[in-house]
Chains A and B, each alone.
Chain A
Amino acid sequence: MQNILSVQSLTKKFDDLTAVNNISFNVEAGSIFAFLGPNGAGKSTTIKMLTTVLKPTSGEISINGFNALKEQDKARASFGIVFQDHSLDEELTGYENVVYHAVIYKVPKKERAERIQKALEIVGLWDRREDYVKKYSGGMKRRLEIARALVHYPKILFLDEPTVGLDPQTRRSIWDHIRDLNKERKMTIFLTTHYMEEAEAIADQIAIIDHGKIVESGTVEEIKKRTESESLEEAFLKLTGRHIRDENNGPSNKTGMRGRGRRSRH
């Protein structure tokens, strides 16, 4: 299988803290890849570097064959992202948010209306398209972000904790959408989550990161076997220990990248 995402010796240092320490991995085209780790392990920092909003200290990233550091625009056109925190304009309607996205991603004008309608239908928001986003519930906002990320037909979709804070119904429906996208459109999915049972159910390949290093990777079965665990959660706890992480030591707070980053999770 061909690799759609390839990461070589990726490192990010913030002053005295090494958030991501020389990690390398590959993601096969058409697969669902789960990137797991405790709070502050370096997940979000890695995703930010993969999606070109943060410059790595060193290392190479290749997305869809494009160098994410040198051919930024081509790399950017190849992926879609649903950020961990909301990133919608609440003063616009759902439809307007998606139009904005379609234009800045240079979706051809002729195809725009049709693609937007399809994307909104996939997540069940077509009937609510004229409502302001500030009137949407948390789950609807999440679904709108997913719809938005689909409009430019990305080859790979990054989902940073897409189901956090959502009820079981919404979580299920979101994973169903994601699985459909993967199966029907052969879209590669790169996701992070803290729900180990979700990762276990959906992911083809898993990498577990802790203290900025990848501590284990492979399929769910391989990881369970190697750690002699019954479940992914058990394996995860064996690999990363049981002590609770102080998320405020995370790198994004150190740099203040996220404004008042106190509520950020990793």
Chain B
Amino acid sequence: MIEVIYILCLRQLKHYWRSKARLIGSLGQPLLFLVAFGYGIGPMYTTARGGGNYIDFLVPGIVAMSILFTAVFSGLEVIWDRQFGFLKETLVAPISRTEIMIGKTLGGAVIAMIQGLIVLSLSYVLGFRIPSLSSLGLGLIFMFLIAIFFSGLGLTIASKMKDLHGFQLIINFLIMPIFFLSGALFPLENLPPAIYFISRLDPLTYGVDGLRGAIAGMSTFGVYNDLAVIGALSVLVCAIGTVLFSEIEA
């Protein structure tokens, strides 16, 4: 069981590592966001709040963003596997659908974690500092849970998609709103009630808030509440994904 999960993860890691264009390309967006928003909106943020450093607020949001996108894309990779025929090879093997689901979720999550860690390291250059090792530890837990949740979500969606036609739909109507309404870029306080309501339903809101609480010391809901919510959601999405994955046909 462990070895099967390991080989499924290893395959995804090899894909990630070998595709240097994808690796570097996927760092472009978070870097651009960090620089453009960090320096563009930073002064406004400081003025409006009467102090505070926007970079400290922004970095956890951008780390969460890069994890979100990498994890969802890794999950959706199953659609490529289906299209190129490789999915059949995995599905006719004498292994349980649960093993496949766990292996692929973990594989996607590990890649997303690496991506998040690269962005976090780069933020050091922009002056972001994590206060202590224990806050880094807690931050890593949040990063991992965000990665698991969205990798599992990507897989769950992919198990029901037959081809790539719905891809844009998912990105523009699910992933983008999840990102923009999560409070990754702006504080959730003082938002219009409708937007605030939606953002409270957004799973990433709790991931971002918890990560921000852990590594930047700013949290709206409280770090442990965030941990409970994102932890429970990760378990839930993996359970749903496993059920849907068990019905998958090549």
Contacts and interface: CB of A to CB of B under 8 A. Distances in A.
B163 A260 contact: yes
B95 interface: yes
B88 A260 contact: no
A77 B82 CA distance: 22
Interface in B6-25: 6-8, 11, 14-15, 18-19
A91 B92 CA distance: 20
A81 B11 contact: no
Interface stretch (A82-90, A195-203, A216-224): A82-90
Contacts of A91: 14-15, 18-19
B92 A81 contact: yes
A259 B162 contact: yes
B88 A83 contact: yes
Interface size class of A (residues with CB under 8 A): 35 or more
A53 B250 contact: yes
Interface stretch (A1-9, A35-43, A98-106, A117-125): A98-106
B4 A103 contact: yes
Nearest to B8: A104
| Chain B interface residue bracket vs A | 20 to 34
Given A257-B249, A260-B163, A101 B89 contact: yes
Nearest to A89: B86
B85 interface: yes
B84 interface: yes
Contacts of B51: none
B122 interface: no
B4 A104 contact: yes
B188 interface: no
A52 interface: yes
B7 A83 contact: no
Contacts of A130: none
B20 to A, nearest CB: 12
Contacts of A99: 7
A85 B249 contact: no
Given A91-B15, A92-B14, A86 B94 contact: no
Contacts of B121: none
B93 A90 contact: no
B90 interface: yes
Given A104-B95, A257-B250, A260-B163, A90 B89 contact: no
Nearest to A91: B15
Given A96-B14, A104-B7, A260-B83, A87 B88 contact: yes
B189 interface: no
B95 to A, nearest CB: 5
B79 to A, nearest CB: 8
B81 to A, nearest CB: 8
A54 interface: yes
A252 B120 CA distance: 46
Contacts of B163: 256, 259-260
A100 B10 CA distance: 9
Given A52-B92, A96-B14, A90 B84 contact: yes
B162 A256 contact: yes
B91 interface: yes
Given A55-B249, A257-B249, A257-B250, A74 B94 contact: yes
B96 interface: yes
